[in-house]
Chains A and B, each alone.
Chain A
């Protein structure tokens, strides 16, 4: 099937995660296929955001968190969760877009340039080129080209979210994590972000958490259904939504609970 033909970009292997004593993820194993959109769905508290945030070691920011298991990133076969790996190096390769747009208190331009500056890019020319390219890629350039040097907070919510996508794209991430990126946006802004994701998957692998099952069905190639910290079912989106293998998945996607 389709699944076998695709390269794997990342793979979780028996991944468990603990917030202190509380086990939030229970032995999750699943692949993230290269240049595909993989959606994580499930009811609130099922651990889908927790799982997503393991990929860029976001949990390292808070004390008392513990990972168990592996996330292998290809092509170099690196275990992102290994103790020897600096989370900053992980985040250099993996971008993230958050639930609420979180532009920095800087200009539009400086927001997109942030990742480049953090990486020590000194050439003004290179920064300008990459910023423009990233804004094009995020389908925002035409709307902001006249006001690159205005504060990012002047943009609308949908524009701010696309700015955050541009910010992540500017540093050429290998994998892009989306944590419910449209939950704070209106339907029109949501549609533009979904369309953008469709274009982006030509060059970057996408992992997205969504509350919205229709969104998962629209944007993703693969879907994982999680419940209470466990992976219930993983498969090609069309098959999972039309013919789920597990009763539990079926109940959730048909709206019988959740």
Chain B
């Protein structure tokens, strides 16, 4: 075969073919390593978190960690009830998502199904800029603008509270939800819309009864991403949410979230290897497991409601 090819094309051809082959292999190896980096990073993060958490759980029983209703790792009478921080994370995320999911979805429906082309092309980049604002800016926006505004309506509202932080966090998350949802809706084939219009449906009926269900798996991804962002958001909560651990589901109170606690401790000068220092890994692991659970739930949901079109 090789001989026949050589006879046909000459040895120069064979040499160039070998060079091409080597180049292809090289590119393949390069791409593989690029992909490997992300996997290795994830594994490394999990390794560090688990390793340090093991040290933590050698000193604090897992049962206490899950059931204790106080979080005072730096006091003499130390308590390590993660529920306290989790309540802050859940409450602020709930407020944020109560803003971001409805608004983000409505914006996506408007941009994809109603807005004229030129308006959409103008609004989309502006909206996406919301997601590019540094979160520290959002944090002070919440603390110095939104909180005083809310205090005018609710005079008893403390200066640090989860409501203000959550609302601003919601605004930050809107573009994540709206942008991905809109892409999913735009990807719905025109043929489906035409089918709906041909039945005498209005734009609104077409959008809500055909386009949204058809784009559901993409919209669900957008929601999951929004949830992950809310749970992992740090700066806004550290600045405007207050840092004292507080077991509460009332957004009108100040409370620390898992992320805010990690920043707080990491900024302080705790001796390396102390229990206080180890808590941040246990808290980080909790956070990671939580987002992992969200992603898994989203994955299952997407598979279940996947609509091929």
Contacts of B209 in A (CB 8 A): 104, 114, 117-118
Contact between A91 and B191, CB atoms less than 8 A apart: no
Asked if B260 is at the interface of the complex by the 8 Å CB criterion, the answer is no
- When C-beta atoms are compared, the residue in chain B nearest to A89 turns out to be B200
Contact between A58 and B198, CB atoms less than 8 A apart: yes
Contact between A98 and B194, CB atoms less than 8 A apart: yes
Interface segment out of the listed A14-22, A40-48, A130-138, A164-172? A164-172
Asked if B295 is at the interface of the complex by the 8 Å CB criterion, the answer is no
Asked if B275 is at the interface of the complex by the 8 Å CB criterion, the answer is no
Asked if B5 is at the interface of the complex by the 8 Å CB criterion, the answer is no
A61 to B193, CA, bound (A): 10
Segment 190-222 of B: residues with Cβ below 8 Å from A: 191-202, 205, 209-210, 213-214, 216
How far in angstroms is the closest Cβ of chain A from B284? 40
Segment 104-149 of A: residues with Cβ below 8 Å from B: 104-106, 114-115, 117-119
Segment 133-179 of B: residues with Cβ below 8 Å from A: none
Contact between A105 and B201, CB atoms less than 8 A apart: no
Contact between B308 and A104, CB atoms less than 8 A apart: no
- When C-beta atoms are compared, the residue in chain A nearest to B201 turns out to be A118
Contact string against B for A residues 219-243, beta-carbon threshold 8 Å, 1 for contact and 0 otherwise: 0000000000000000000000000
Contacts of A167 in B (CB 8 A): 195, 199
Contact between B214 and A61, CB atoms less than 8 A apart: no
Contact between B198 and A105, CB atoms less than 8 A apart: no
- When C-beta atoms are compared, the residue in chain B nearest to A167 turns out to be B199
Contact between B196 and A105, CB atoms less than 8 A apart: no
Point out the residue from B189, B194, B200, B213 that lies within 8 Å of A58, measured CB to CB: B194
- Number of contacts between A and B (CB, 8 Å)? 73
Asked if B268 is at the interface of the complex by the 8 Å CB criterion, the answer is no
Asked if B271 is at the interface of the complex by the 8 Å CB criterion, the answer is no
How far in angstroms is the closest Cβ of chain B from A154? 10
A interface, size bucket: 20 to 34
Contacts of B193 in A (CB 8 A): 61
Asked if A205 is at the interface of the complex by the 8 Å CB criterion, the answer is no
A106 to B307, CA, bound (A): 9
A168 to B210, CA, bound (A): 16
A95 to B197, CA, bound (A): 10
Contacts of A119 in B (CB 8 A): 200
- When C-beta atoms are compared, the residue in chain A nearest to B188 turns out to be A105
Asked if B32 is at the interface of the complex by the 8 Å CB criterion, the answer is no
B interface, size bucket: 20 to 34
Q: With a 10 A CB-CB cut-off, give which of B194, B200, B216, B308 has the most chain A CB atoms.
A: B200
Contacts of A89 in B (CB 8 A): 200
Contact between A100 and B200, CB atoms less than 8 A apart: no
> Contacts A63-B116, A98-B191, A100-B191: A105 and B197 contacting too (C-beta < 8 A)?
no
How far in angstroms is the closest Cβ of chain B from A159? 15
A92 to B210, CA, bound (A): 17
How far in angstroms is the closest Cβ of chain B from A105? 4
- When C-beta atoms are compared, the residue in chain A nearest to B195 turns out to be A102
A238 to B202, CA, bound (A): 41
Contact between B191 and A105, CB atoms less than 8 A apart: no
- When C-beta atoms are compared, the residue in chain B nearest to A60 turns out to be B197
Contact between A118 and B191, CB atoms less than 8 A apart: no
> Contacts A58-B194, A118-B205: A105 and B307 contacting too (C-beta < 8 A)?
yes
Asked if B309 is at the interface of the complex by the 8 Å CB criterion, the answer is yes
Point out the residue from B189, B197, B210, B308 that lies within 8 Å of A91, measured CB to CB: B197
A119 to B193, CA, bound (A): 17
Contact between A105 and B309, CB atoms less than 8 A apart: yes
> Contacts A105-B213, A153-B308: A114 and B196 contacting too (C-beta < 8 A)?
yes
> Contacts A118-B205, A153-B308: A104 and B196 contacting too (C-beta < 8 A)?
yes
Contacts of B116 in A (CB 8 A): 63
Contact between B198 and A104, CB atoms less than 8 A apart: no
Contact between B194 and A168, CB atoms less than 8 A apart: no
How far in angstroms is the closest Cβ of chain B from A52? 11
Beyond the given pairs A105-B213, A119-B200, 7 more chain A to chain B contacts, judged by CB atoms under 8 angstroms and listed by A's residue number, are A61-B197, A102-B192, A103-B195, A105-B309, A153-B308, A153-B309, A164-B195
Listed by A's residue number, 21 A-B pairs whose Cβ atoms lie within 8 Å are A58-B197, A61-B193, A63-B116, A89-B200, A91-B197, A91-B200, A92-B200, A98-B194, A102-B191, A102-B195, A104-B196, A104-B213, A105-B214, A105-B216, A105-B307, A105-B308, A114-B199, A114-B201, A118-B199, A153-B308, A153-B309
B interface residues (Cβ-Cβ under 8 A, vs A): 116-117, 189, 191-202, 205, 209-210, 213-214, 216, 307-309
The 3 closest A-B pairs by CB, nearest first: A105-B307, A96-B198, A92-B200
